[in-house]
Amino acid sequence: MEQQPNKIRPMLLSALAQLSACLIVWNFHIPNPNIVLFVVLSAVLVKYGYAAGIVSGLIAFLYSAFFFSTDHSFFLYTSLNLQKLIVIGLGIAANILLIGRLQRQVERSNMEKAQAEAEEKLQETTESYRAKLYHDVLTGTYNRRYYEDIASRIVGPAGIALIDVDDFKICNDTYGHYAGDMALETAANAIRSCIRNTDLLIRYGGHAMAAGLSVREENLPELRRRLNEWAARECPVLVPPPLECDLSIHLDRITVESVRRLDQLAPYGAENPAPVFLLEKAVVEGVYPVSEGRHCRLRLRQGNACIYAVWFGMHPEQLPYATGDVVDAALSLSVYEAARGAQLSGRILELHPAGFGNAAAQQTALVQALRRGSPLTAQQRALIAPERSDIITVYRELQARRWHAEDMQPLFAKLGEEHTGKTLVALTALEQVGLIAAVERGGAKFWELVPTAGKKNLADAPILKCLEE
């Protein structure tokens, strides 16, 4: 009801304008009044649209009928005047349809233009908010939200460098946070000046930064060669440090309350890491998918007690352990509320075959150094050089059981941790001569034997030739 006056007003104004035109042509005895009436009709159509145009056209037609009728009777016409009236009626109708349609198109065009301008303004506003949302105010770099929302979903080859500002906490504590902010800004500008415009500089969290770079697929071998040359020159043998555990635990002695008291040590961070517990000789009783298979949850039993522990990022099909395997697990512990009350839960940080030491990591580092072309001592070469019998043992083990090709710790444990280097070289040699291959099955890679027509010469394996040099 409130909008009704807005529709009636243009119609009244158009009627008034057309009536005024009729009075003018009548009063001044204009011999051909239709020209004036048509001009007013066109103006009304352009100004107010179809409805007002129809009212104006009807008045113009009635005046024409009055003007051309005999003795202005509205009903009696000569043959010629009747024809004129019909032509005028058709002209009014055509005028309304044509100009009305043009006016509609103009209105639609104006509306689309206004909508486009509104969308452009909205886009600019959105981009402005997006820039504020994804940029670190202090350094001008991208922030962690940008990495998690966008950068982490970029598909393609890339390298990541994690950069930490040394002694930053000392700078903050000694000179204040303003000096710390200046140090961060200076560091960001220094890094930005050394990377390309296509690279991403991200302040990921705390005081650490991450810089990404993109590499064309055809340039990957060259990049790998350069990195290997640098690693062979600067770091001949890279032995990853073992994960340090704070305490070896027994499940039957751990309570909910004792784990809850760990909260007194929080907040955790770089200077105060969360405690890590070692669960030794635990039996894997079950493996369950979590979050549509992106993670897995293990039921681990130690003695008469058990605990559920989640291994984030480990797909169940990629897990190299089966039900019944005995493992050592590095865990972080927490408490969650379940239907039957508070329960203990674990998060798996590392998982090894029970009793697995650090010898495997040391020998694996020697094999990796050999692959990179790093020089090894005679003693190191002898430690990882397999005999023919060692290679045959590995081959027969692959015949007897399907082993994971990515996490090979269970295989190393089965053949003896002290023989890890020889086992790894044997696997590499067998793969290089085409006797075995790492084949993906159900999202995980497994070692499989490759059928061959003739004999293969193991001496042709490049890795064995490197050991003989």
Q: In this predicted model, what pLDDT tens digit does every residue of 297-323 receive, in sequence order? A: 999 999 999 999 999 888 888 899 989
Instruction: Determine if the pTM surpasses 0.85.
Output: no
Determine the length of the chain.
469
Sign of the C-alpha dihedral computed for residues 19, 20, 26 and 32 taken in this order: negative
DSSP string, 285-312: EEEEEETTTTEEEEEEEETTEEEEEEET
Which residue reads 């669960």 in tokens? 279
Three-state SS string over 156-225 comes to: CCEEEEEEECCCHHHHHHHHCHHHHHHHHHHHHHHHHCCCCCCCEEEEEECCEEEEEEECCHHHHHHHHH
Residue 2 pLDDT exceeds 50: no
The 10s digit of each residue's pLDDT in 192-205 is: 877 778 788 888 76
Looking at residue 322, the DSSP 8-state letter turns out to be: -
Which of 174-188, 318-332, 372-386, 444-458 shows the lowest per-residue confidence on average (mean pLDDT)?
174-188
Note whether 353 and 344 are within 8 A (CB): no
Q: Give the residue, 196 or 423, on which the prediction is more confident.
A: 423
- Average of per-residue pLDDT across 81-86: 75
Predicted confidence (pLDDT) at residue 4 exceeds the cutoff of 70 = no
Number of neighbours of residue 281 by Cβ within 10 angstroms:
12
Q: Could you tell me which of 344, 341, 315 has the C-alpha nearest to residue 332?
A: 344
Mean local confidence (pLDDT), 341-363 = 89
pLDDT digits (tens, 9 = 90+) for 212-251: 566 677 877 887 788 777 767 766 666 667 778 889 999 9
- Strands 305-311 and 295-302, by their bridges, are antiparallel
% the chain with pLDDT above 70? 81
Residue 432 or residue 18, greater confidence: 432
Angle of the 359-372 helix axis to the 220-234 helix axis, nearest 10: 120
User: Which range among 69-78, 252-261, 366-375 has the greatest average pLDDT?
Assistant: 252-261
Strands 341-353 and 326-338: antiparallel
Instruction: Give me the pLDDT at residue 3, please.
Output: 45
| Whole-angstrom distance, CA of residue 53 vs CA of residue 13 | 11
Mean pLDDT, range 103-126, rounded to an integer: 81
Mean pLDDT of 119-126: 82
What does the pLDDT average to over 446-465? 88
| Axis crossing angle, helix 50-68 with helix 79-134, rounded to the nearest 10 | 170
